[in-house]
Chains A and B, each alone.
Chain A
Amino acid sequence: MLPGKWLTAFFGILLATACGGHASAQQTIKVAYTDPLSGPFAQVGDANLKQMQYIIDHINAKGGALGKKFELVPFDNKSQPSDALIALKSATDQNMPFIMQCSGSNIAAALIEGVEKHNERNPDNRIIYLNCGAVATELTNEKCSFWHFRFDLHVGMKAEVMVRALPKDVTKVYLINQDYLFGQSVQRDVKAFLAKLRPDIQVVGDELIPLGKIKDFSPYITKIKASGAQALLTGNWGPDMNLLIKAGVDAGADLSYYTFYAHLAGGPTAIGAGGDNRVLAVMAFSENVAPAIGNVEAEAFTKGFRDKHKFDFSAAGFRTIFEYLQAAVNKAGAVDPGKIAVAMEDLKLKDFLGFDTTMRKDDHQIISEYFVGTFKKGVKYDAEGTGLGWAPTATILAKDVDQPNTCKMKRPGAA
């Protein structure tokens, strides 16, 4: 099909086998990255990987940390907790100081437990778990851990942002979520905030769907229409999100969609022009934020990615992660996970857009700004070549996303 692409892949493999492994043992700071790189959710992991690599190149060009460069080592976990634990094992076997994982709160829960056990048993070979997107509220509350740092807002915070974004004339909403730890977390938190902030809103439907199993959402749309809902609130991601909105748009349902993940890989393509001004996403970033606030440097950075790859840059949060790592490693003065974890606590940085962020010490949850984006025509940077893009319609500052937590953290050495 595309001989160029095949050749590149071929030489890439040659290169990787030629210089992988022995060339640079301690020269780089290795970050193990585990996410689905195959199977139904592969698109998500792959998009993350490309964006992280772009960010790492940028951070390394700015000097890395302690004169060392960061290096990303991907492990496929096929969306399975057991495979993620194998990745953790490989990472610790190679003395990597960090493991990063974004997709799947059930996997995150397994990783937190695994890292906790490993660090307890191997005080000389500890590892820090950087959570780049597993957002079930529990992970920094009931299940919080000293070795786990979360760099995305948790479901409770996102749910509050979503509920606040609902216009005044909406009185009937429908909830659809994926039937696992994360989806149930969304379901519970959204309902809690609806009850608290918008008692006038009636939840006319509330449903859990099997993860990644449904091919045609038309029957759900029929049901939602029959319920008289004006807005559909969903935490779905991947195909479950794309197919849901596609079915809604195809049926011409008079609905607004409030989502957590419609802006991520594949979403805009599936939604298409029919979703104009109907789909909103609670998002960490949109490429249209930088031009909106007039930050030329940030705009150039995201445009650089867009020029290089064929898809959009959505992962500003990943850049924040590596800036935190850079600062924490420099502050710790050594690539020692124990010291780095301490250095990371209560670290305050301005992210590349210029907003204040903090890594909260109590629960290791980042507190950063967040956006609500509306999918519509006439934006500067469109999404996935659809001609439509995410216009930032609301910006929520770090101080306003803050929520109390119930974390009782067990610190090493304290016991």
Chain B
Amino acid sequence: MEVFVVSLLNGLVYGMLLFMLASGLTLILSMMGVLNFAHASAYMLGAYFAYTISLYVGFWPALIVAPLICGLIGAAIEMWGLRRVHRNGHIAELLFTFGLALLIEKGVQMTWGLLPVPYRVPELLDFPLLRVYGTQFPAYRAFMLLISALMFGAIWLGLTRTRVGLVIQAALTHPDMASALGHNVPRIFTLVFAAGTALAGLAGVIGGNYQVTEPAMAFTMGPIVFVVVVFGGLGSLTGCFIASILMGLIQTFAVVFDVSLADLLAKFGFVVTSQTPFAELLTVTLPRVGALLPFLMMVLILVFRPRGLMGTRDT
């Protein structure tokens, strides 16, 4: 029970962090068709900006300012970069963002160095909020949950209840019609890209000190975010939310269960010995492959349900 509750909490925190990253990406991907490889780089930039800003004025201003800077950078990338590349089709866009991700990583290495920076949790939140069966649950994690829940609420309300949101939704599905009706679709694209980047930046601000702020953080976070987006389905914020939480929980719980395929087979009276074919594979325990499970799920969903969990069209 203890393990279950603590793992549930940890999985939720990680899942919500994934959601913050993935929500921006899913908006960008579904609206512009751009698989933005530089998205996780914005996450990293958010963390580094927050670290630098917090050195001068503290964490709380950084929480606002760092995502804003990320958003501005995102807008600039869209207006002066992606829009030009867009004419040459999706492959060009994909390569553009890929190159951008590498450039940002190198830039971060040259500016802040290769070592992790000491970006710490603010003192105000640096205490154990509660004890769950003896394990401390840091207040900062609760704060992360709060921020990401607020964000989910804000995006959802923004998309469904405001005029801008409705125009965005229209541009998502029928860009030509929205344009014909007099809406400035390119500007909406810029807005969405900037907002998506800012969200990734915000995730970086609160994720950077929860994990470690270092130049490889974008590289390690990138793939799993793609999995979430594909799994959740294009254009669906709810799908993205469910996929994020699911991935967070899967990765957390996979660690806890020391079972292998061999154990499963044993339940049906089939005993695996070293003589059995594929014995190596059958006896690998779940924790050892836990980190790979999301990728397995992505492959499966692409085969059996290409539009993802709640997607509106095929990936």
Known A-B contacts A243-B211, A252-B135; the reply to A222 vs B115 at CB < 8 A is: no
Number of inter-chain CB pairs below 8 Å: 123
Known A-B contacts A212-B220, A225-B135; the reply to A219 vs B256 at CB < 8 A is: yes
Shortest Cβ gap from A171 to chain B (Å): 19
Residue pair A222, B116 in contact (C-beta under 8 Å): no
A154 at the interface (CB under 8 A from B): no
Q: Which of B6-14, B69-77, B79-87 participates in binding chain A?
A: B6-14
| Chain B: CB-nearest residue to A40 | B216
Choice from A39, A215, A225, A384 contacting B134 with Cβ under 8 Å: A225
Shortest Cβ gap from A28 to chain B (Å): 26
A207–B289 Cα gap in the complex (Å)? 12
Binary per-residue interface labels of chain B (1-34) against chain A in the complex, 1 for a CB within 8 Å, 0 otherwise: 0110011001101100000000000000000000
Residue pair A269, B118 in contact (C-beta under 8 Å): yes
Residues of B within 8 A of A5 (CB): 110-111
A315–B6 Cα gap in the complex (Å)? 39
B98 at the interface (CB under 8 A from A): no
Residues of B within 8 A of A239 (CB): 212, 214, 216, 220
Listed by A's residue number, 5 A-B pairs whose Cβ atoms lie within 8 Å are A219-B11, A219-B252, A251-B136, A266-B115, A272-B118
Residue pair B110, A9 in contact (C-beta under 8 Å): yes
Binary per-residue interface labels of chain A (190-213) against chain B in the complex, 1 for a CB within 8 Å, 0 otherwise: 000000000000000001111011
- Interface hits, B22-62 → A, CB 8 Å: 52
Residue pair B216, A42 in contact (C-beta under 8 Å): yes
B196 at the interface (CB under 8 A from A): no
A355 at the interface (CB under 8 A from B): no
Number of interface residues of B (CB under 8 A): 44
Known: A220-B287, A246-B212. 15 other contacts (CB 8 A): A42-B109, A46-B115, A207-B287, A207-B288, A210-B289, A210-B292, A215-B211, A215-B220, A219-B11, A252-B136, A265-B115, A266-B214, A269-B212, A270-B116, A311-B115
| Chain B: CB-nearest residue to A250 | B138
Interface centre among B3, B7, B114, B211 (most CB of A within 10 A): B114
Residue pair B216, A219 in contact (C-beta under 8 Å): no
Shortest Cβ gap from B40 to chain A (Å): 12
Choice from B116, B128, B253, B289 contacting A242 with Cβ under 8 Å: B116
Choice from A9, A223, A242 contacting B3 with Cβ under 8 Å: A223
Residue pair A270, B287 in contact (C-beta under 8 Å): no
Residue pair B110, A6 in contact (C-beta under 8 Å): yes
Residue pair A242, B110 in contact (C-beta under 8 Å): no
B282 at the interface (CB under 8 A from A): no
Known A-B contacts A2-B111, A243-B211, A384-B118; the reply to A223 vs B288 at CB < 8 A is: no
Residue pair A40, B136 in contact (C-beta under 8 Å): no
Residues of A within 8 A of B52 (CB): 1
B221 at the interface (CB under 8 A from A): yes
- Interface hits, B112-141 → A, CB 8 Å: 112-118, 120, 128, 134-136, 138
- Interface hits, A58-80 → B, CB 8 Å: none
A226 at the interface (CB under 8 A from B): yes
B255 at the interface (CB under 8 A from A): yes
